[in-house]
A = this chain, B = another copy of it.
Amino acid sequence: MKYSKNFYQIKSNETIFDSMKDEISEIGYYSLPFQDISDIKSFASKVKQKYIAIIGIGGSSLGTRAIYDFLRHSNNYEKSLHFFETTDPIILNSNIKDLDLDDTFFIVISKSGSTIETISNFKYLDSLVTIDKSNCAMITEENSKLYNYANNHKIKTFIIPKNVGGRFSVFSAVGLLPLAIVGVNIENILNGCKKLHNSFFNQEEYYEPIMQKARFFVENKHRFNINVLFSYSSLLESFNKWYIQLWGESLGKININGTKQALTPIGLIGPIDQHSFLQLIVEGKRDKTVTFIKVNNFADTTKVPNTLEEIKGLEYIDGLEFSSLLEEQANSTIQAIEEQQDIPCDVITIRAVDEYNIAKLMYAYQILTSVIGQFLQINTYDQPGVEYGKIILKDKLSKDIIL
């Protein structure tokens, strides 16, 4: 009898860091902070249309949306972004009503160039208004069907490098082009990424927190199989959705030992979800870690007025800035969770509502995801589990054609 097995074990931080350094040359997103963005900026500055329609789904829209929704309420952009993500017919037609199609610039984004939702939306919009090189750009992989279509029609194309996965593509043209068109400062976005990148790979400020967090999540993945991100600003609602894709699609994998992995992301918004999900965190089973995100400075001094004295019992909020109230609500919830003493909890504070800070946060989450993937010994960058449904769909619909 012969038996040999190398059971999966959690590696040392040093080994993981070495693997991370090896990834830099293989995985494309690490290079994006240092890319040349002159072509994006120059093209963006020439777009005159008021409405910018982004036709894309998943990694082709979530990251752009995260940054845009974080910034748009406190910036008076003259242009607006509109997202065509779904095959839901009622939403498709409703979204079109928000546009003046003759004053719309279309950005078609699909890495593979054959995403069903994207192509069907593109075809439909193209049947309503002529879409050509005067009002369209495409972002796709080299030699995809969309790439060839764009070339044939002389439509400007931006390339998604093969080694940049959809959910890691926000800092490529996928995110930077629409954001630059709308007026976002994309240099500051890349500066935020660079800061985080260098800090981690030079083992400075952000190195230890990321390594420790990743290690804790992996060592306790069976006990705490749910990771809650509790963001204390509605500006971060789309960021939460981007996080859910990044986390779920990167870490929901079978590992080197054949074991299905366990980390499940949940996004919450404070204080709204204090009135929804918080009860479950406090009194439910201890199966969750909780990460709070706070915004340090909203640059907004709106105050709760000292009025309506007849409504007694809430005098302590009178005259308070809403931003202080929000911060104290976050602090109180954090304290209530910490005092339970059996809910793992950490707090990220971002300094301001600007390009630099949201980019830093997102790049930090990308690196955290990569580190956890290394610890789990999975392929962080593929998504084999979603292919089977696509094959069934093609099979179903192709049969319909024959019948």
Contacts and interface: CB of A to CB of B under 8 A. Distances in A.
A147 to B, nearest CB: 11
A266 to B, nearest CB: 6
A274 interface: yes
Name the interface size band of chain A. 35 or more
Given A245-B275, A253-B284, A274-B386, A322 B120 contact: yes
Contact of A313 (B57, B114, B298): B114
A244 B396 contact: no
Contacts of A241: 276
A300 interface: yes
Given A234-B88, A332-B389, A393-B328, A249 B277 contact: yes
A226 interface: yes
Contact of A93 (B145, B251, B302, B331): B302
A291 interface: no
B314 A248 contact: no
Interface string A212-250: 000000000000011000000111000001001100110
Interface stretch (A28-36, A177-185, A254-262, A360-368): A254-262
B271 A87 contact: yes
B328 A245 contact: no
Contacts of A308: 119, 122-123, 126, 149
A244 B332 contact: no
A316 interface: yes
B87 A283 contact: no
A296 to B, nearest CB: 13
Interface string A310-354: 111111110011110110110111011001000000000000010
A204 interface: no
Contacts of A187: none
Interface in A191-217: none
Interface string A114-155: 101101101110110000000000000000011011001000
A1 interface: no
B305 A124 contact: yes
Contacts of A339: 388
B233 A317 contact: no
Interface string A82-124: 0001111111111000000000000000000110110110111
A322 B89 contact: yes
Contacts of A58: 272, 274-276
Contacts of A188: none
B400 A316 contact: yes
Contacts of A271: 57, 86-87, 117
B245 A262 contact: no
Interface in A268-317: 269, 271-272, 274-288, 298, 300, 302, 304-305, 307-308, 310-317
A333 B286 CA distance: 31
A62 interface: yes
A46 interface: no
Interface of A: 57-59, 62, 73-74, 85-94, 113-114, 116-117, 119-120, 122-124, 126-127, 145-146, 148-149, 152, 166, 225-226, 233-235, 241, 244-245, 248-249, 251-254, 260-264, 266, 269, 271-272, 274-288, 298, 300, 302, 304-305, 307-308, 310-317, 320-323, 325-326, 328-329, 331-333, 335-336, 339, 353, 383-386, 388-390, 392-394, 396-398, 400-401
Given A87-B322, A264-B287, 6 more contacts: A120-B314, A248-B279, A252-B284, A262-B284, A262-B285, A263-B284
Which are the 4 A-B pairs with shortest beta-carbon distances?
Answer: A58-B275, A252-B280, A282-B385, A252-B284
